C-alpha cells in the first residue's frame, strides 16, 4: 500500500466516523449517513451487543453511539485499581463501563482521532459522573502514553480499520506492562480467504476488507511480543468473516521483528 492510498483510507475512516456523532444528538443510533458504519446486519454491530444491565449503567447517548462488533468489557476481566486503555473509543461506552469496573483507584483512557467522537465521549462521561476517565486525541498506531503504563488494552472493531496493523500491535505491546492483558473485539477473516476475497465482501471503511485472518492475528501478536494468544469467533458478519474475541498477554520477553503480512498487500494493512 502506498503512502498516498494509506492516507486516503485513513481520511475516509475519519470522515465516516465523524458523521456518526451528530446522529446521537437527535436521539438516534449512530450511523454514517448511509447506514451502519460497519457493513452487515444491524444485529451484528452496535449497542445490541451489550446487556440491558450494561446499557443501564451508561447515558443513552453512549449506548446509541456504539458502533463496535462486540463487547470487550465483558471479556477483559478488569480489576479494581487497574489502568485500562480503549483504542478507538468512539462515544465512550467501553471507557465508561471500564472506569466503573476499575473503580476510583483505577483509570480508564480512551483514544480516538475523531474530534466529533471525542467531544461526544467527554459529554457522556460527564453525564455519567465518572471522574476517572481521560480521553486522548491520537492515532492507534502512535499511542500517546508512556511505555509499560497500562494493565489492560481493549478495543472494539477498530484494529481492522488501521492501515498499519503491525504498528498498532507493536504499540499495544509497548504501552502494556509486562504481563498486561489484551482483550479486544474485532472482525477476523477465516484463514482460507485471500485479501482480495475479503475486499469482495465489503469495504475497508465498512470493517470488512481490512480484517486480518486468524493466523495473521496470532502471528502478528506473537511477533509484537504477546503470548497465550487466542482468537474466538462469536458471530458471522459476512461469508467467512466473523466478529471475534482476541485475547493475549504481554510477554516478559523482547518482541520479534516480523511482519504480519507481505508488504505488497493492498487489501488490508
Reported as a single tens digit per residue, the pLDDT across 14-54 is: 777 666 666 555 444 444 444 455 655 554 444 445 445 55
> What are 127's three cell numbers?
453525564
**Confidence (pLDDT) at 266:** 32
Average pLDDT taken over every residue of the chain = 80
pLDDT digits (tens, 9 = 90+) for 152-208: 999 988 999 999 999 999 999 999 999 999 999 899 999 999 999 999 998 887 778
**pLDDT higher than threshold 70 for residue 258:** no
**8 A C-beta contact, residue 154 and residue 76:** yes
What is the three-class DSSP state of 39?
coil
Domains in the chain and their CATH numbers?
Answer: 3-250 (3.40.50.150)
Q: Other CB atoms closer than 10 Å to residue 122's CB: what's the count?
A: 15
Share of the chain above pLDDT 70, in %: 72
CA distance to 71, 160, 219, 250, per residue, from 97 (Å): 10, 23, 30, 23
Beta-carbon-side half-sphere exposure of residue 212 (alpha carbons within 13 Å): 31
> What are 251's three cell numbers?
510477554
Going by C-alpha positions, the residue among 171, 181, 195, 187 that lies closest to residue 233 is 187
Query: What pTM value is reported for the model?
Result: 0.80
**Confidence (pLDDT) at 205:** 79
Q: Residue 30 and residue 122: Cα distance in Å, rounded?
A: 16
The DSSP secondary structure of 224-268, one letter per residue, reads HTEEEEEEEEEEEEETTEEEEEEEEEE-SSPPP---SS-TT--S-
Amino acid at each position: 500500500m502506498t503512502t498516498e492510498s494509506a492516507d486516503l483510507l485513513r481520511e475516509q475512516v475519519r470522515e465516516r466516523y465523524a458523521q456518526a456523532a451528530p446522529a446521537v444528538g437527535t436521539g438516534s443510533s449512530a450511523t454514517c449517513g448511509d447506514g451502519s458504519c460497519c457493513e452487515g446486519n444491524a444485529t451484528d454491530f452496535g449497542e445490541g451487543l451489550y446487556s440491558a444491565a450494561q446499557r443501564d449503567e451508561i447515558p443513552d447517548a453512549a449506548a446509541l453511539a456504539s458502533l463496535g462488533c462486540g463487547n470487550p468489557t465483558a471479556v477483559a476481566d478488569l480489576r479494581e485499581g487497574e489502568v485500562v486503555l480503549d483504542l478507538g473509543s468512539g462515544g465512550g461506552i467501553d471507557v465508561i463501563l471500564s472506569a466503573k469496573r476499575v473503580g476510583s483507584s483505577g483509570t480508564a483512557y480512551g483514544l480516538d482521532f475523531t474530534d466529533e467522537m471525542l467531544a461526544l465521549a467527554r459529554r457522556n462521561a460527564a453525564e455519567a459522573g465518572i471522574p476517572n476517565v481521560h480521553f486522548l486525541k491520537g492515532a492507534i498506531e502512535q499511542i500517546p502514553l508512556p511505555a509499560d503504563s497500562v494493565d489492560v488494552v481493549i478495543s472494539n472493531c477498530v484494529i481492522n480499520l488501521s492501515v498499519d496493523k503491525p504498528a498498532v500491535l507493536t504499540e499495544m505491546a509497548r504501552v502494556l506492562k509486562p504481563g498486561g492483558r489484551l482483550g479486544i473485539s474485532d472482525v477476523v477473516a477465516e484463514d482460507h480467504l485471500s485479501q482480495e476475497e475479503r475486499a469482495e465482501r465489503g469495504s475497508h471503511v465498512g470493517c470488512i476488507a481490512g480484517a486480518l485472518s486468524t493466523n495473521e492475528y496470532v502471528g502478528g501478536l506473537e511477533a509484537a511480543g504477546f503470548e497465550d494468544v487466542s482468537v474466538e469467533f462469536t458471530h458471522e458478519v459476512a461469508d467467512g468473516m466473523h466478529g471475534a474475541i482476541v485475547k493475549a498477554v504481554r510477554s516478559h520477553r523482547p518482541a520479534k521483528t516480523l511482519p504480519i503480512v507481505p508488504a505488497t498487500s493492498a487489501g488490508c494493512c
